[in-house]
Amino acid sequence: MTLFLGVLVIVAAVVAVMRRVDVRLALLLAALALGALGDNVALILRTFFQTFCREQFVVPICCATGFGFVLRHTGCDQHLVHLLVRPIKHVRFLLVPGTVLVGFLVNIPLISQVGTAVTIGTVLVPLLRRSGISPITTGSALLLGASLGGDLLNPGAPEWRTVCSVIPFTKGSDCVRAVFPLQLVQLLTATAVYWALSRREEARHRKEMEARSPEGEEESPAFRVNLFKAAVPLVPLVLLFLVSPPLGPLSVHEYWLTDVSSKADADNFESRLIGAAMLIGVAAAAAASWRKAFESARVFCEGAGYGLTHIISIIVAAACFGKGVELLGVGELLLRTVDEHHWLLLPIAGAVPLAFAALCGSGMATTQSLFALFVEPARSAGLNPLHVGAVVAIAASAGRTMSPVAAVTLLSATLTSTNPLSLVRRTVLPLLIALGTTLVVAIVMAGWK
């Protein structure tokens, strides 16, 4: 009976989100209801406060969004985007896949999907419009590139904070190495399928546009790329790789960032290391655009506040909801299922995060809420939990990209004056095909037959 009522609560949360109820409110109320059904509302309350002030999430995420705001303030992000766009600017055939690729690459150092969409959108949306690309293709390419999971190749990605906190002695660089081959398959497959579908749609759109005169479209003035400014967004990324063993040649003493005499404080070293890398990036951005340097501190704090409001809050709500789902016995059910059918683990690790992220609109929150459920089943099945974590993170990114309530979807629709559902419909099939292909590769890599 409890399980049945719990399913009703989950369905009610899904319906509420689909009816545009704030996702945080819907998930928190559902979490409290699930806690009541499981006779453990206290667990939900503890999860709320623990997650809301958990340094492993707050420091790297807020520092990353603060850094993104400073990049936008100083204009360094635009120099990187223009540099990446140059090879495809005069080749119309490559504009659509090039937009996806540019978004993916920019998302690696910027981490934030919304920040990536804003950054590349200001350059690529006018370019694609002048080239006769339809608004829906422009918006969906922007969405796909910004949200496909480029941030997963950054050791400072919030998803890896979750993985590192659950798997002892794991670093962000270990997670990047685990996810890289799978993410490459996801990127190439999704881009190829999306490109093929878009070419058919664009052929139809081009026929409708042939009668229209291109006169009235103004060429944007030439943009002179400053290579130093273009390199600034990459500073934190490079620093994190340089200090990540075994390949990183540099090391940072823990006492610089933590109280080594305190075990609890020492556990926060890697999170603070990411924050420190972002602060160095802020300093580099200020040096690159010294006329705007005096406003950098204020802008950084505004960005950190944005991260708390729009990212941390969703992670908190999703974490509470995930705990509520755990109270229904989902973890035990998953473990029993995997014990009986080991081959189901990776497909479930792809399907469940995909659906959860499509519901809440956050890949970070999905990984944070669900990854722990797969650790023991992975060990039971003889799999490396890090490999399963890579699948969970990729599936969560795909689910976010096909979510009509995701912030990056809403922003992409706003930038291109389109309907969010239209953009989602264009990206769903490429994402599902890509995720299916990635799961096959993951199963092969795991050595299953």
Q: Please say if the pLDDT value at position 339 is more than 80.
A: no
pLDDT in tens, 426-449: 999 999 999 999 999 999 998 754
Confidence of residue 399 (pLDDT cuts 50, 70, 90): very high
Q: What pLDDT does residue 209 have?
A: 61
CA distance 353 to 295: 40
| 219 within domain boundaries | no
| 221 within domain boundaries | no
| 361 within domain boundaries | yes
CA distance 167 to 415: 39
| 224 within domain boundaries | no
| 208 within domain boundaries | no
Q: What pLDDT does residue 48 have?
A: 93
- What does DSSP assign to residue 249? -
- Percentage of the chain exceeding pLDDT 90: 38
| 123 within domain boundaries | yes
Mean pLDDT of 372-390: 89
| 108 within domain boundaries | yes
pLDDT in tens, 190-248: 999 999 998 877 777 666 665 554 444 445 567 788 999 999 999 988 888 888 665 56
CB half-sphere exposure, 178, CA atoms < 13 A: 23
The count of structural domains within the chain is 1
pLDDT in tens, 416-432: 989 999 999 999 999 99
Q: Which residues contact 69 (CB under 8 A, 6 or more apart)?
A: 115, 299, 300, 302, 303, 306
pTM: 0.81
The residue count for the chain: 449
- Where on the phi/psi map is residue 417: left (φ > 0), alpha (ψ -120 to 50), or beta? left
pLDDT in tens, 52-68: 888 877 888 889 889 98
Question: For residues 179 and 83, is the Cβ–Cβ distance under 8 A?
Answer: no
| 76 within domain boundaries | yes
> What phi and psi, each to the nearest 5 degrees, are found at residue 250?
-110, 160
Q: What pLDDT does residue 449 have?
A: 44
CA 424 to chain centre: 16
pLDDT in tens, 9-59: 988 988 887 787 888 899 899 999 999 998 999 999 999 998 888 887 788
pLDDT in tens, 149-183: 999 998 888 888 889 888 888 888 899 999 999 99
Mean pLDDT of 372-384: 86
Residue 422's domain comprises 8-202+231-445
